[in-house]
Structure formats: structure tokens, C-alpha cells
Structure 1
Amino acid sequence: MSGDDEGTRLAEQHEGRTVARATMKDVAALSGVSLKTVSRVVNDEPGVSPEVRERVTRAARRLDYSHNVHASNLRRTSGRTGTVGALFQDISNSFSASLLRSLEDVARARQTAVLAASLDEEPEREIALVRGLVARRVDGLVLMPATSRQDYLAPELRAGLPTVFVDRVPRGVDADSVTVDNVDGARQAVRHLLGHGHRRVAALLDLSTIQTAQERLRGYREALQEAGVAADDALELLDLRTPEASQHAVHSLFVAGEGPTAIFAGRNDLAVGAVRALRALGLGGRVAVVGFDDFPLADLLDPPMTVIRQNVAQMGAEVGRLLFSRIAGDTSPPRRVVIEPTLVVRGSGEIRPS
């Protein structure tokens, strides 16, 4: 078989469904250059003409090739590295931190290390970190995506990279996911407030581009509609990223005129910002608050915080079960696990309108 025929065969093989990642040898065959030349290109070394560099790059792209920076150091007969990647939005947040710890417990039982990082809702950061983990040949990936679509992962998924999405379902690709029922959780929170006599319920929510924020807004609106309460755009405070932003937004609501009698905070740190604002305004204990996500010391606030609790331990265990099942060779269709949240009544959500 000629070099051109071999290159065509390789391209056709990798453009279809395959389980093996392309190697530098495959790229060399398709581009018609030596293995050493391919090595120089992927390691960005000098001594290669622009025309040849472009040909190698084009071949690598066609074969979905990604460089393995640790290939020379791997000695495991299984080809595994004993590492998995975990990319969450903010591992300093109690939700992400608890989720990471649950995943670590599962991984440790399998002698696997977890390489974790925060994405901070930055799509470019996500793509760069994923590529870095793939280059290091992690055995699997857990992703809480910041990107609106994850089509860029398609080559790695085709190549067999075990990947589990958490907190948000994948878009543009098909993969395992573990999420909470955000719509139902928000409905529970707002129904609870409405059940205590409230009709002016404000919603504090994250970026409107984020799946979870969209779903919690939907649940908030559905609960109001069920109760025959007209939605008020002025009470929907969106695109809040920090406790400080939440605090400022709540303060502005009351300064501008008649404030709400109750608040649904769509994330734990937004609930913290709301409590700070209410205390500064002298309204602590007079305006009801229900937060989405439990957090440390929530039960020690005055009044203690009523929350919608996600079962983070269960989520982490499900993520780990799916991930290591895939690593072990499970090729069954992708699964979507949805975990029901629960209302934890503590006091702040049971304050009636003044």
C-alpha cells in the first residue's frame, strides 16, 4: 500500500466511529512526513518549513490527534495514568467543594488522583483546561461546563474518553450526566413562600446564560403562575455573580420603593448577600428568605436559613460510579441521572408578610 493510500485509509478510519486515539505515526502517514518532523511540529520546535508545518497540522486536525505530553513517561501496560480531571465552576464555593470531595472519595478507593480546577464561567478557560487534561491523558473527565455547547469535545468522546457532565446536561454532544431537578427545586422554594402568605417574592439568580439559572427562573415563574400571582420584572434580579452583587441588588430594591416581602435566592452565595442587605436595612427577620443550595453555618444564622438542599454526596457518588464504570469499559448508551432536591425548613422561609 502506498503512503497516499495509507493516509487515506487512516483519515477514513478516524472520521468514522473509532475507539483508539490517533498517534504521531498516523499523523506522519497522512501528512507524508517523517515521525521526527511530526514530533517537531507538535512540540513547536524549529527546523520545519511553514508549508510542512501546515500539512502536519491539517493532518492532525483531520485525525482528531491531540499530543500526549506524558507519553514517554507512561509505563503502565493498561495505558492508564491513574488520574481523572474534574472541572467545576468554583471549587471555593461550598457546593463545588463538597462535590469534589465526594468524587475524591470514590477515586481514592480506586487508587486514582483527581486533578481539579475552577472554570469561573469562562468558556475559553474551559476549553484550554480540557485540552490540557486531554494532553496529559487523564483516564476520564468530569465537567461542569461554562460553554453553551460542548461540540469541541466530540473528537475525544469518539476516541473513547470517559466523560461525565455534572450540574448541567451536555449540549452538542451525547454523554453521561448527573444533575438536580432545578425547576422543581425552585418551584418548591417559591411555593413554600407563597404558602406563608407572600405575594411579592423577589428572585436572585445567576447569569441568564447558565442552564441552572434558566431552570430556576422557570421554576420560580411556574410557581407564581400556579398561585395566580402576576410576574413582576422588577422582582427578577438576574446576572448576579457574587454575594456583593446580590447585596447591592437587594438594597436597591428596597431603596427604589416597595420592596418584596420574600426572597428566593437561586444560589447559596446570593442568599448570603441577601441576608447581609436585609441586616444593613434593619429588615433581618422581617423578610422571608429561601436559598437554593445548603451551605456551612446556614443553620446558625438568625433566623436559620431555609434552603433547597441538593444531595451533593449522592451526586458525587453517581458521578464517580458512572465515570469509573466507563473507564472499566462500559459502552452502554449515555445515561442522564436526575436527583430530586429537598426543602429544609429552618426558619427564614417561614416568616410571614409584615
Structure 2
Amino acid sequence: MAVTSLSGESRPRATMRDVAALAGVSLKTVSRVVNEEAGVSPDVRERVAAAVQRLDYRPNLAASNLRRTGARSGLIGALVQDVSNSFSAGLLRSLEDAARSHRTGVLAASLDEGVDREQELVHDLVTRRVDGLVLMPASDRQDYLVAELRTGTPAVFVDRPPRGVDVDSVVIDNLLGGRMAAEHLLDRGHRRIAALFHLPTLTTAQLRREGFTAAHTDRGLRPDPRLVVDGVASTDEASEVVHRLLDLDDPPTAVFAGRNILASGAVRALRERGVHHEVALVGFDDFPLADLLDPPLTVVRQDVTKIGRLVAERLFARIGGDTSPPQHLVVDPTLVSRGSGEIPPRA
């Protein structure tokens, strides 16, 4: 591969052999210096370092890792629903921080809830010899991973539990989160509570809906089925749904948005109708600037940093040779009261 200098001239990328020739040492000595191994005198290290700098040499870390370990690439793959979503972005950042301490890079991609895309990307990452996988699955079952797991590629599931395979997983208590949101609104006197949920095929949406319903059932209540809407997949759809619900003869006095992008759509609709200080709103998942809205958004918050840390701990333990039974970790959410969820029902 050619590189271009600041003057615009193109020249071949320097190799370890070039560094050895300029420093007047062996290839093995250059390898020891580059990989920070012992057995090289200070003056020789200085000569090699000077040659590296003069030649703009960049070591092939992937090849180096493979030589030293016989199997490692120094890369992990992370497949999430959407890398632009604040939850996914926070998760990836937490993984990146943990991976850096293991001198490992992260290859990330969005699944966009595509089953075929999930399998294609997993195959692509495995062929690139990633050391492990982090997966937020879009598929109903993940039996297709059996062969990869059998050959030693560890995987940790996040946000959604595995089905068809038994591997480590880290998820939020979605049932509890849905219950917390509904109870918060019921405690403030709301009885006509609208609820927006993502795709009903997803475990997260199913459990948040079950928690929402259970909070009503515990009080001898039943949510109005006209106010509970499944399959809301985007901010725009959420906004349209809330507008439609507000047009009912007996509109909701509160809204629970079961996902951060749905909360954004609900905020927009309430503001467009001029009722954002009259209709209560609780969202699931926090997102940047939610606390600066008018009113500030009350949310069921997931500890994304903790989730990412636990995922990384399990993955790097498996990469390091841990063969203990799979662990299925569940993290409790917290409800953050900011104002929107504390608006009382209209008289």
C-alpha cells in the first residue's frame, strides 16, 4: 500500500524490514521494541524508535496479535439495533473504553431490526476473525450461531436475551421498567394512560407492555385498549399516534413512551398541540438534552455504562478462557422524575 507525504509524493508504506535496515538491527529486535518486550538495551530501543519515527512506520497490530496468540485478532464485533440511537451509542462507548484496556478495537454496525442483515454481519465479522461478538439480536432465534460458538468464538447478548443458544447476556429488567412508568402515572391520579411500544416481536417491547399492564391489574384497573399502541417504529410514527390519540372524544391525560425515539415523537406531538404542560409523559430510556426540554422529561433510565461494563467483563473473560456456565445478568432500571411525568390529570 502506498502512502502520501505532506508534499503530495506517494511512497510505499514502510515495513519492519525497512526499520531494521535503517536502525542496523535484526527483525526480531524491531519486533521486540514494537511489541514492548524485554531483552533490548536502551540505546538500541532509541535507535529503533528513531527509525520508526523517520520512516512513519505503523505496525500491523492484527498480524502481530495473531502471531503472538495464534488466534487473536485484537478486534471484537458489536452489532446493535442502530449506532445513532443514544442507547446504542452509549453502550458502544462503554465497550470501547473497556476494550481499550485490553488493546482491542471494536467493529460496530447497525442491524436496523433486519434478520437477514444480522446473519450477514455476523458472518462478515467471523470471517474477519474477531475475538468475540456482542449482539443485540433482531432475530427470534439465534441457532445459526451454534457453529461459531462451537469453534470457539464467544458471544455476549445485550438488551435482548438469547434464544436457541445459551450464552452470556446482560439485559435491563424491562418488566420492572414498564411497571415503574405506569405506577408513577397511576400514583398521580391518571387513569387514561396511553402507551406506545416498539415491535411486538421484540422481547423488550413485550416485557415493557406486560409491566405496564401489570401495574394496572394490581390496582383492579384495565388499560383502555384504544390507548395502547404496538408496532410504533419511529419518531414520526410516534408523533402521528399521539396526535390521533389526542383527537379521541376522551383523550389520554398521560402518555408512556416505551422507547427513547418514541418519547421524542410524543414530545413533538404534545408541543404541536400546545398541551405539553397538561398531558403527563414518561419515556423509557434517557437521551441527551431530555433534561432541558420544557417540561424536562421524566424517564425510566437504563444504566448504559454499567450494562456496557458488564458485557465487556463477560466477553473478555470468555476470550481469556473462562468456561464457566453462561451468566444471565439483569440490571434494574431507575425512574428519574424531572417534571413531565408529574403533571396531574386535567380536572
Do Structure 1 and Structure 2 share a fold, with TM-score over 0.5? Answer: yes
Aligned counterpart for 1:170 among listed residues 162, 174, 189? 162
Give the Å deviation of 1:77.
3.7
- Superposition deviation, residue 193 in structure 1: 0.2
User: Counterpart of 2:261?
Assistant: 269
Whether 1:102 and 2:97 are equivalent positions in the alignment is: no
Which residue among 135, 143, 154 is the counterpart of 2:127? 135
Deviations along 1:223-259, whole A, 9 cap, x unmatched? Answer: 1111222222111111011110000000011123221
Pairing 1:281–2:273 present = yes
CA drift at 1:74: 4.7
TM normalised by structure 1 equals: 0.79
Aligned length, in residue pairs: 285
For the residue of structure 1 that corresponds to 2:139, the secondary structure is coil
Q: Percent identity?
A: 60
1:300 aligns with 2:276: no
What is the letter of the counterpart of residue 331 of structure 1? T
Q: What letter is aligned with 2:109?
A: A
- Secondary structure, in 3 states, of the residue corresponding to 1:97? helix
- For residue 119 of structure 1, what is the aligned residue in structure 2? 111
Structure 1 alignment gaps of length 5 or more: 1-69
Contact 2:193 2:223 in 1 (8 A): no
Match of 2:223 among 228, 231, 237: 231
In 1, distance between residues paired with 2:313 and 2:283?
Answer: 29
Question: Tell me, which stretches of 5 or more residues in structure 2 are unaligned?
Answer: 1-61
Query: Aligned-pair RMSD on alpha carbons?
Result: 1.5
Aligned counterparts of 1:113 and 1:278: Cα–Cα separation in 2: 42
Q: Displacement of 1:101 after TM fit?
A: 0.1
Larger mean CA deviation between 83-92 and 226-235 belongs to: 226-235
Moved over 4 A (4+): none
What residue number does 1:335 align with?
Answer: 327
Match of 2:247, SS? helix
Q: How much does 1:269 deviate?
A: 1.0
Equivalent residue in structure 2 for 1:75, among 43, 64, 67: 67
**What amino acid maps onto 1:313 in structure 2?**
T
| Counterpart residue identity of residue 322, structure 1 | R
In 2, the alpha carbon distance for the partners of 1:194 and 1:252 equals 22
* AA at the equivalent of 1:303: P
Displacement of 1:275 in angstroms is: 0.9
Aligned counterparts, 1:55-70, within 5 A = none
Amino acid at match of 1:217: R
- TM-score, length basis structure 2: 0.80
Partner of 1:156: 148
